[in-house]
Amino acid sequence: MPTKSPVNPENAVELFLKIGLDERVAHNTVANNKVTNNLLAVINEAGVTDGCNRTTGNLLYTVATKFPSNALVHRPVLAEYVVSSKIKTPAQLEAAFTFFSDIGPEKFSSNDFEKACGVGVEVSNEEIEHTVGEILEESKATILEQRYKTNVGDLFRRVRERQPWADPRIVKQVVDTKLRELLGERTAADDEKPVKKKKEKPAKVEEQAAVTPAQPTEEDLNPFLIFPSPEENLKVHTEVFFSDGSVLRPYNSREILEKHLKVTGGKVFTRFPPEPNGYLHIGHAKAMFVDFGLAKDRGGNCYLRYDDTNPEAEKKEYIDHIEEIVRWMGWEPFKITYTSDYFQDLYDLAVELIRRGHAYVDHQTADEIKEYREKKMNSPWRDRPVKESLKLFKEMRRGMIEEGKATLRMKQDMQSDNFNMYDLIAYRIKFTRHPKAGDKWCIYPSYDYAHCIVDSLENVTHSLCTLEFETRRASYYWLLHALGQYMPYVWEYSRLNVTNTVMSKRKLNRLVTEKYVDGWDDPRLMTLAGLRRRGVAPTAINAFVRGIGITRSDNSLIRVDRFEYHIREELNKIAARTLVVLHPLKVVITNLEAGKVIELDAKKWPDAQTNDNSALYKVPFSNVVYIESSDFRMKDSKDYYGLAPGKSVLLRYGYPIKCTDVIFGPDNETVVEIRAEYDPEKKTKPKGVLHWVAEPSPGVDPLKVEVRLFDRLFLSENPAELDDWLGDLNSNSKIVIPEAYAVSILRNAVLGDRFQFERLGYFAVDKDSTAEKLVFNRTVTLRDSYVKGGK
């Protein structure tokens, strides 16, 4: 049951000084809301609102800060023991913490408790002196050698082991006195600091030893170690502070937990609960990793549960997409469920909530509810009779009340400091056909009402969500406690925010519907459909998410280059190399016979062996080849490795060529053709290496493909914080090259294939490809070339 705490937190400092805390500690305590609330509650439980002596006050402060959270129902008992001086030493207090931590919220025997904490045990001065004497005698030789440099702390520890309930102040006095009797007065030598021996430098080694990298922590290797096992779910989940001073400390009784464990077999059960009203983005990838990942790590199960409580926004298109993307990401749901599967259970529990006096039918409009919440005022219908609310709720269910004329609200706390306890709506009327339930229902549960109950009904062990839901924890546990339902373990983690993009569902929807992008799977978006179309591998997304970790550090903005690093790492392993020229410049080899074609071996992989035909492909070399127009300039320089008049370069997998002449267009400025000679003996060794594509036969152009170069969608790192966020769109985020030249091996590429276009980046076949023309999307460049800071 909640306990009363009538103390006003504004007077906290004054009260803390009354119980003997010094001024610095009192002010530091008030700066921490959690410790302040705990200490105020303990002071009230101990009945010392008028003050107490310093020793008692310090012990109570320790109770407030260190009492085990799984046994908070017993804290008032310990407070009484402290005030009555039955527990009066830190050692006794630590023993009490251990005792309560072990038994949790269960009932206990006073005799067992008092025995464990040494209540009533008085250790006389003579007993302390005898014990100290024994210990000093045992260590006499060492003490005489080390004198006052003896480790006194170790002596105290040994006394504490033999006399755990001895007064530590008396122990210190006795130890000091007996040491002085044994050693005499301190000398100058006793106060000298010990001379530190210099470490000998190791002999120089010819070869420098390799630097050993720091060993990763267990949490780095397994981010799921932070989560408790299902059997541990007996602790108090949270503290809900009410405006009348009462505090709710919800927890599972052993009976409820054992019933839950019997159903689950002790396995971990999680759930990934998206709303089917949009496409999933990279933030959902983190949620999947946490939910499915924890279940997989512990040998448990994860539900894919559609939160389909809003029939107006849900579409089958989204439901199908979500299931497909979950599996594409490498996760397999234990079972696919819908909140609508539990509509009857939810309705029955709402009736029970009304019967228990924890819900009422309200007739305020949406604007009135908003106004009353802002003013922290109760609804005029809040205290209507239970029978009346039951009757009206049944009428809502039967469609006898107009939409917008009534809601069912939970009777929580309109004066709470937590706005998510302002009598949240449990049910509203909507005469809208439900995509799955059809016309069976005209009232629908809210997220705040349904989410926690369905977690409980599905016996979820770990309910994991992002930090913006942290303030809903109070409502989550209030409702399950009010209904006497099993309570899952709730844990919030930081949401994933990436630079140079937006992930708000509203903003994404606007980008799509107003045609700023080409649909939900536009490769510039951080939707999972967009990333897949861009060519990003799901393993790269999961590696990125795992690398970030499951932390509670809020408002962190992860640079997109960090994500791109993982994309490159994955594609480097799976993408075959090939040659494509985006902006072709014609090069005529004058010393190679026209019509002659030399077949060369090119490598699909950097470490391909020349005797492994499967790792090689053929490229033709003829007297007409094409290089990138950007790989030629009229003026050479030391730091330039491209082609220039009179200069040689090496054609990748081919021969060195030397520019002998340049042909200009009608404007006498634009280079339209280069004349060059090749070195068939490969005697020249140029530094520059260029990618290229040749005519496969005389007069026949190489394979033409369309290439789309994608870049950051927004110029600023955090466009979401801008008033004119649409004005920050990057006009060069998509550049289409309609006719690039490619080697013929790409002719057989199909949707899903990924390649490294050498010197250009990683590319993937797009769904717009046809039999007549292939389309490739650039997934990522070979290295990060983006200017830090964005705009």
- Under 8 Å CB-to-CB from 455, ≥6 apart: which residues? 271, 463, 488
Q: Which residues of 530-551 are buried (b: 16+ CB within 10 A; e: fewer)?
A: bbbbbbbbbebbbbbbeebebe
CA distance 8 to 16: 12
Length of the chain: 791
Going by C-alpha positions, the residue among 443, 415, 419 that lies closest to residue 431 is 443
Task: Give the Cα separation of 388 and 483 in Å (integer).
Answer: 20
The single residue of 80, 94, 275, 673 carrying the catalytic annotation is: 275
Q: Chain centroid to CA 87: how far?
A: 43
Bridge-based pairing of strands 692-694 and 648-651 is: unpaired
**How is residue 635 written in tokens?**
């003026």
Closest of 29, 26, 32 to residue 14, by C-alpha: 26
Reply yes or no on whether 122 is catalytic: no
Q: What are the residues facing 576 on neighbouring strands?
A: 755
Q: Are 571 and 780 in contact (CB under 8 A)?
A: yes
Q: Nearest 5°: phi and psi at 462?
A: -130, 110
Cα torsion through 390, 391, 393, 397, rounded to 10 = 130
Taking phi over 0 as left and psi of -120 to 50 as alpha, with beta for the rest, 405 belongs to alpha
470 carries an active-site annotation: no
* Catalytic member of 376, 495, 562, 633: 495
Burial call 469-490: b when 16+ CB within 10 Å, e when fewer: bbebbbbbbbbbbbbebbbbbb
User: Phi and psi for 713 in degrees, rounded to 5?
Assistant: -75, -30
* 411 catalytic residue (yes or no): no
**Half-sphere exposure of 702 toward its Cβ, with a 13 Å CA cutoff?**
30
The active-site residue, picked from 172, 267, 505, 633, is: 505
Find tokens 């006793």 and name the residue. 190
Q: What does the DSSP 8-state code read for residue 438?
A: B
What's the CA gap between 510 and 529, in Å, rounded? Answer: 17
- Nearest Cα neighbor of 728 from 509, 505, 511 is 511
The token duo for 507 is: 């903003």
Look at residues 312, 301, 310 and name the one whose alpha carbon lies nearest to residue 338.
310
Q: Which residues contact 52 (CB under 8 A, 6 or more apart)?
A: 18, 19, 20, 46, 60, 83
Q: Which are the catalytic amino acids?
A: 275, 495, 505
